[in-house]
Structure 1
Amino acid sequence: MANIFRDQQNILYVCLGSKWGTRERMALKDCLIARETGHNVFLYCLRDSIVNLKAKALGIDCLYHVGSISLNFLKWHRLNAFVQYLTKFNISLVHCYDLSFLWPASFYLKRKTKISLVFTFNHEIKKFYKKFWHRNLIRRIDQVFLPIKEMADGVHGHLEVPIRKFEYTGLGVGRDIRISTSDKSTGAWFVGCAVGGHEKDIDFLRPAINAISSLNTKASLSKKVKLLIYSEISWDKFLLQDSVRELISDIGANDHIFLEFTDDLTEACLKVDAWIGLDAKVPIEDLLVNSLLNNIPSLAPRTYATKELFRKRGRLGETYKSGDAREIREKLEKIFNTYAGYIDRLESGRDELVSDFGIEFYKNQLLMGYEKILTKRERLIRHKRPKGL
C-alpha cells in the first residue's frame, strides 16, 4: 500500500492556461502541498505564461509545452516532449487541470499503466463527450477532484466519469490574515475586483465600472463608493490599459475607480469592504470564497454553485447576472445599506465555511486522494490488468 507521507513520488502537474485565475492558483497550490510533503514536483505549462512566471518565483521546476496550444487528434504527435518527460523524470502521477489535455494524456497513459492520472475540474463543461473513443479514454482517469459537490452531476453527465472516482476538495482558501476594521478607511465604501492580466477586451470590466459610477451618481448611500481593480500584473503591461483608463475618464469616474497593482490578490481582496467576482466561467472563484472567509461580503456572478452557496449558508453575499451593471449597482446598494447584517452572518457561518473550503481540509483531501489512487495502481500492476481500474 502506498504511503503518501513516506514514499516519495515524482508528480507532473499539467496546467496549460495563459490566464491567471482560480484554476492556475489551484495548480500552484497543489504543487506546493506536494513539495512540502516531500515529493518531487514538475509543472508542465506554457513558457512565459503567468502561471509559469509565478511557478519560477516559487522555485517550482517547469517543463514546457512545445508547439501550438491546439490539442486535436491530428496534432497529438507534437506532444512528444510530454511523453519523454514521463520517462525522463520517472513520473508516477500526472495531475491535469485542462479539459483539452484530457484526451491526449489519457491516450498516451494507456500504455503507461504504472502512472496514475488525476484531473481537477473547476470550470463548467458545455459539450457532451460520449462517443466511443471518448468513453475509452475516460476510463483511464483514476481520480477526479471537484471543488464543490454541486459540480458532480455536470461532470458525470457530460463525461460519464463514474461517481466513485469523484473526490471533493473545496478550494483550499482562507488564510487567517484578516485586516482589522481599524485599518480600513471610513470615509468611503471600498469595493475590490481582480483581473488576470491576460484579457484583451474591456467588456468584462465595463459593467462593474458603470455600476460604481451610477451608484455614486444616484447618491443613495451615506458614503461614496470607490472601486479598486487589482492585478498581480503591472497595468503598464495590459493590452487594454488605455481603453480602461479612457472609459473611466469618459464617465467622469477618475476620483472613484483606480487601477491597482498587488503582489498577492488573496491579501488585496481583504483590504476592501466588499468584493465583486468577475469570472462567470468557473462555478465559484477562490478569491470570492477567500473574501467570505475573512468577513468581506461578496457579489458573485450567478451560477448554480454561487446560488447554492448562499442558499445553504444564508445571505453571506449576493449574486448578479453576469454583465448586468444595473443589478451590480442594486446589489452593492443592498449590501452597504444592511452591512452589519452581512458581517454578523459571516461571523456566525465562518467555521462551517472553513470546514468545507479551508486549506487543511483541501490538503487532506488532495493527499489522501493521491494515496488512494497510487495504491490502486500498485494493485492493478500486481494483478496485470493494464486496461484501467
Structure 2
Amino acid sequence: MTAEVNQNNSTSPGVRVLHLLRGHRWGTIERESLRSIQWQKKTGVVPVLYLDRKSPLDQALGTRELDAIKIYPRHSLHTSWTGRIADFFWLRKIIKQYNIQLVHAYSLEDLMLVGFALRSSPEVPFVISLNHEIVKSHRKLWLRPFVARIDRFVVHNPELLENIWTEMKLHPRKGLVLWPSPTDENSTMRDGTEQVSLSGEIVIGSYIAPLLRNMDGPQTMFAAIAVLQEKMQKPLRLKVFVDRNLTKSYFVEHLHTFSRPWAKSFAIEICEFDGLYPPFSLIHLWWTLSDEVIEDFSLLALKAKVPIIAPRMSSYIELKQKQPWIGELYKKHDVREMWSNAFKICDNLMDYRENLALDSRVFIPIWNEMGTQDRLLNLYERGIRLRKLLNARKAI
C-alpha cells in the first residue's frame, strides 16, 4: 500500500473519514470535496483520501500542501475482475488499519467496492455524494444489498431526489441537499452588488476546465459575445478563468492563440485563480459552459449576486422558476439564443443584480445559517451515532 501519512494526524482525536475520490475527473464533486476536506481539517476531522496518483485532485492537494493521509490504489478503475476483487480486500484492510469511522464515496462506481468492504465493518456508516442523473436502474435484485448499505446520500440539486428514488429506491429522507460552500476566509469572492461599477465596461466571466478537449463550447461563447458586442453600446470584456494549479502552460498558450481572432471584436483576458473561488467581485455576468447537472461556480456566482447565463438544463430551469432574476438560459450551440439572452441581462443588469440582492426566497433555504460544511459534519456525526445504536440493538 502506498500512503503518505502525517504523524500528527495519526494521533488526532477527530473522526476519521475515508474519502473515495478515484478517477481523473475535475468538476463540481471534486472541487466541493476539496473544500470539504479543507474545512474538515480545521474542525479536527482526520480525512483519509483514497485517490489515484497524479489525478487532478491529487495535484490540487499537492499544490495546496494540504496535510492529509493519502492512499493510492493498486489497480486502476478499468482493471480486470481479479483486480477488482483484490481491491475489495484491500479497502477492507485500509478501513481496519486506519480505524475508519465513516466512508464517503463520490461515485456510484464505488458502490460494490464499498458494499463488500463494509461487510466486516457494520458499525461504519456509508455516505455517497451524487451530482448527476442516474440513467441505469439500481433496483435489480443483485444490487439491492449494496444500495441498502447506503446510510445517507448528498446531492447538490434537489431535483435529483426524485431521480434517485426512482432508480435506486433510496427515500428522499435519506438525502441531504448541500450547496457549494459560499465563502472562504482566503477567498476574493465578495457580494458583487457592492464591488463592481456599472458605469464602464461590462465584464463577463467564464471558467474553462483544465481537461477540456473539445473547444466547441468556448468557440460558441466567443461567437455569441462578438455578436453581443455589436448590439451593445458599452464595451465588453471577457475574463476566462483557468485553474493555476492544474492548467498546463501549453493549454494556456493554446487559449491565447484560440482567442486571438476574437480579440478584434471584444477584449479577452485569460485569468488564473486558485481553482475553487473565482473573484466574482470583478465581474458582472457569469457564463456557464459546464455540462454538469448544476455547476458549483454558477451557484457561488448567484450567492455573490452575479446573474448567470447557463445551459437549459432541468436544474437551472427549476432555479429560474423559483427566482426569475437568476439570469437566462440558452440552448447549447445556439449562438442566436446565447447573445439575445445575454443582451437581456446586460441591458437590464442593474435590475437583475438588485433583485438577486433583495429576493431571498431561493437563497435563504440554500445557504442557511449553519452553512453547508457544518451540515455535512452533522450528517457524519449522526450517521456514526445511528450505526452504533443499530449494532447495539443487534448485539442484544
TM-score bracket for this pair, using the shorter chain length: 0.7 to 0.9
Change (3 A) 1:359 1:71: farther
Is residue 23–residue 77 contact of structure 2 (8 Å, CA) maintained in 1?
A: no
Q: CA deviation at 1:117?
A: 0.6
Corresponding residue number in structure 2 for 1:292: 302
Structure 2: how far apart are the matches of 1:132 and 1:192? Answer: 47
Corresponding residue number in structure 1 for 2:3: none
- Cα RMSD (Å) of the superposition? 2.8
Equivalent residue runs for 1:52-71 within 5 Å: 52-56=58-62, 57=64, 58-70=66-78
Structure 2: how far apart are the matches of 1:142 and 1:172? Answer: 23
Change (3 A) 1:251 1:364: closer
User: TM-score normalised to the size of structure 1?
Assistant: 0.87
Q: 5+ unaligned residues in a row in structure 2: which ranges?
A: 1-11
More moved, 260-269 vs 341-350: 260-269
Is residue 174–residue 293 contact of structure 1 (8 Å, CA) maintained in 2?
A: no
Corresponding residue number in structure 1 for 2:317: 307
Q: CA deviation at 1:367?
A: 1.9
Change (3 A) 1:358 1:16: farther
Change (3 A) 1:234 1:13: closer
* Aligned partner of residue 344 in structure 2, secondary structure: helix
1:125 equivalent to 2:134? Answer yes
Kindly provide the amino acid, as one letter, of the partner of residue 70 in structure 2. Answer: C
1:229 equivalent to 2:240? Answer yes
Change (3 A) 1:71 1:155: farther
Change (3 A) 1:37 1:134: same
1:212 equivalent to 2:221? Answer no
Corresponding residue number in structure 2 for 1:140: 149
Is residue 174–residue 354 contact of structure 1 (8 Å, CA) maintained in 2?
A: no
Structure 2: how far apart are the matches of 1:291 and 1:350? Answer: 15
Change (3 A) 1:37 1:182: closer
Q: CA deviation at 1:163?
A: 2.7
Equivalent residue runs for 1:50-89 within 5 Å: 50-56=56-62, 57=64, 58-70=66-78, 75-79=83-87, 80-89=89-98
Corresponding residue number in structure 2 for 1:257: 268
Residue 367 of structure 1: which of 363, 369, 377 is its match? 377
Change (3 A) 1:69 1:186: farther
Kindly provide the amino acid, as one letter, of the partner of residue 85 in structure 2. Answer: H
Change (3 A) 1:202 1:81: farther
1:319 equivalent to 2:329? Answer yes
Q: CA deviation at 1:149?
A: 2.1
Q: Which has the higher contact order (CA 8 A, sep 6+)?
A: 1
Kindly provide the amino acid, as one letter, of the partner of residue 94 in structure 2. Answer: Y
Q: CA deviation at 1:142?
A: 0.7
Kindly provide the amino acid, as one letter, of the partner of residue 293 in structure 1. Answer: K
More moved, 240-249 vs 364-373: 240-249
Q: 5+ unaligned residues in a row in structure 1: which ranges?
A: 1-5
* Aligned partner of residue 370 in structure 1, secondary structure: helix
Equivalent residue runs for 1:1-389 within 5 Å: 8-56=14-62, 57=64, 58-70=66-78, 75-79=83-87, 80-174=89-183, 177-178=190-191, 186-216=199-229, 219-233=230-244, 237=248, 240-241=251-252, 244-251=255-262, 253=264, 256-281=267-292, 283-350=293-360, 352-357=362-367, 360-384=370-394
Structure 2: how far apart are the matches of 1:173 and 1:359? Answer: 12
Structure 1: how far apart are the matches of 2:325 and 2:196? Answer: 25
* Aligned partner of residue 278 in structure 2, secondary structure: helix
